[in-house]
Amino acid sequence: MDNNDLTRPDLYINRELSLLAFNKRVLEQAKDPTTPLLERLKFLCISSTNLDEFFEIRVAGLKEKLVSGALQTGLDTLPPQETLNRISAEAHQLVDEQYRVLNEELFQALAKERIRFLRRTDWNPKQAQWVHRHFTHELLPVLSPLGLDPAHPFPRILNKSLNFIVSLEGKDAFGRSSGVAIVQAPRSLPRLIQVPQSYSRGPYDFVFLSSLIHAHVGDLFPGMKVTGCYQFRVTRNSDLFVDDEEVEDLLRAVEGELLSRRYGDEVRLEVADNCSEEMANFLLHKFELDADDLYQVNGPVNLNRLLAIYDMIERPDLKYPPFTPGRPAIVAVDHNIFDAIQSRDILLHHPFESFLPVVDFLRQAAADPNVLAIKQTLYRTGPDSAIVSALVDAARAGKEVTVVVELRARFDEEDNIKLATRLQEASAHVVYGVVGHKTHCKMILVTRREGRRLRHYVHLGTGNYHVRTARLYTDYGLFTCDRAIGEDVHRVFQLLTSLGRVKKLKKILQAPFTLHKELLRMIEREAEHARANKPARIIARMNALIEPQIIRALYQASQAGVKIDLIVRGVCCLRPGVPGVSDNIQVRSVIGRFLEHSRVFYFLNGGDEDLYLSSADWMDRNFFQRVEVCFPIEDQGLRKRIIKEGLELYLSDNTQAWVLNKDGEYRRTKPASNQKPRSAQEALLEHRAD
């Protein structure tokens, strides 16, 4: 086998199958008895939500390539149809396992804790009466059954909505007897209803909306006999299409596409496992889907709606212990944050440390008479965010406020349109970045007059300016007033809001201009050190590794003798451990309480270490189709801290880490007989949280 040919397909793992493997690792958390019970249910729901998005975006994209005649999809050169076939086999196994875990493990464990999901066969006469009253008063007035006949064609089915196909016998008031009807459950109806205490045998008894409708669907068709009622859900292509060459008003274009997302091309059909073959085939025909696109499930077709249970149940003993994020004394609530940043660079490690100093930074900037201007990028933040409120206050206080809002942040487009409107109403300048490139970098620039000079204060982050997810995702944020970095950030904002050519940056690496090239240079530099028999080391932590030139550069560095550790949460197309190619590369993924989101890049550089934090993963889109920043950590203390907390701690994790083998399979690490269990996230909670 030619180890010099680094384009060989067998050296690359299929992107889509790697993404499904990540979702399997998430599902494993739902099976882990050491995870609190309601958290296990939560992980099951997350795996279901992830799978929805996988079909809405990745499978939908493959089906489009198939229609367009594309011959291959990625580095592994699998043709679209073969990829879809393998996805179907893997996804069907994954879905079967999701429902097995739900029915055989979680429902039984929850029942022991007096949390029960009552099937129709479990209802006693008193409960059955309550169900009927609830159906009559709460559901019957809002349900609209649709009989199918020439005057009533098959209705448009909303993406991921709950529906029922009903088979009937008899004739209606007009003598019609088509035999089939559709019942659509409005999204406003809760999918789980708690049974009142007076009708329950325990504190937490629930019934599914689908059970109520199944039990009394006959009330929707008086005088006719229901011979079958089966729930179903269709998943549609949900990727937005905006023609970058034709668009004149990005806001209007995105608003228009949001409407079409609800009714994109069908990609998957889920039905109850008791659905008759005749009805399943009828639905497949209506949605123009194949048998491989059919998923028959033993339970509710919308597993992710079970997530509502988490907040409905007051059982702290079945959840992760609460924690209070730490807050460094230098950014205490009553401190002037500008004085603090002047004294030294400040690093925050979320969620172990609080995100509130970032909000305080903007609030103090809004109230400070010496602050002249605030500029910020927003990718995901939420329309009612404290961040947005601070920017609104600053604009109303007469500051020059400029906000770059990325309208095309997937599945957050509607929220971003709302917050853009709110900012504009407060007289802030709102721009939507660069058409053709998503603005994915996370930056705040505050310009303050201090005596005769203007000083830039900067916040740079690896994650979004979203207060809620800052408690759920691991990310880094850096405050600095370093002059060169401030000037670099100012130039990046100029590029985003104005017109002109790229100005050379002093310290920051920027996509789509310098980031990819510089990373390749630093990887090759380590390879040169190794060839000269000098110590060489690369450690990189990210969410995804896909870009082919970077992977080939890592292979070449490994062949030169560079020791490489990659901590990749999700998709990894690099195949480690291949003799003569990637012997020196190890890949691990950490799945735990918090979603791993940080991007950290370390290069030994002959002892003169380089350490960068970034908003960018190592993917084609991040390098070439997005505006990203990658910024150096130059403070020696902060550098040592990140290497220890963000890299070495994760490399020593032996409880929540999964190691990727050369066959593409992941193996969960376990402590050796002479080792203590080590969890990076738990260690950081103990060390950084209050």
Q: State the catalytic residues.
A: 440
3-state secondary structure of 192: strand
- Measured from the Cβ of residue 103, the count of other Cβ atoms closer than 10 Å reads 12
Which residues are 85's β-sheet partners?
Answer: none
User: If we measure between CA atoms, which residue out of 324, 404, 391 comes closest to residue 363?
Assistant: 391
Which residues make Cβ contacts (< 8 Å) with residue 118, sequence separation at least 6?
127, 195, 205, 206, 207, 211
Tokens 């220890």 correspond to 644
Which helix (H) or strand (E) segment holds residue 311: the answer is helix 308-312
Label each residue of 565-630 as H, E or C. EEEECCCECECCCCCCCCCCEEEEEECCCCEECCCEEEECHHHCCEEEEECCCECHHHHHCEEEEE
Which residues make Cβ contacts (< 8 Å) with residue 270, sequence separation at least 6?
232, 233, 234, 235, 295, 296, 297, 301
State the Cα–Cα distance between residues 59 and 307, nearest whole angstrom.
24
Copy the structure tokens of residue 299.
């339970």
User: If we measure between CA atoms, which residue out of 466, 604, 630 comes closest to residue 542?
Assistant: 630
State the Cα–Cα distance between residues 372 and 354, nearest whole angstrom.
27
Residue 464 gets the label, from left (phi > 0), alpha (psi -120 to 50) or beta, of beta
Backbone torsions φ then ψ of 620, nearest 5 degrees: -55, -45
**DSSP string of 522-581?**
HHHHHHHHHHTT---EEEEEES-B--HHHHHHHHHHHHHT-EEEEEESS-B-B-TT-TTT
Dmax (CA) of the chain: 89
Burial (CB count within 10 angstroms: exposed 0-12, middle 13-18, buried 19+), residue 52 = buried
Copy the structure tokens of residue 375.
């500029």
Measured in residues, the chain has a length of 690
State the Cα–Cα distance between residues 213 and 155, nearest whole angstrom.
19
Tokens 């789509």 correspond to 512
- What DSSP character marks residue 226? E
Backbone torsions φ then ψ of 355, nearest 5 degrees: -85, -10
CB 51 within 8 A of CB 91: yes
3-state secondary structure of 350: strand
Crossing angle for the helix pair 80-100 and 37-53, to the nearest 10 degrees? 160
CB 464 within 8 A of CB 633: no
Tokens 């999700």 correspond to 570
State the Cα–Cα distance between residues 435 and 242, nearest whole angstrom.
9
3-state secondary structure of 511: strand
Give the strand pairing for 163-169 and 400-405.
unpaired
Q: Which amino acid is at 272?
A: A
State the Cα–Cα distance between residues 423 and 72, nearest whole angstrom.
44
- What DSSP character marks residue 501? P
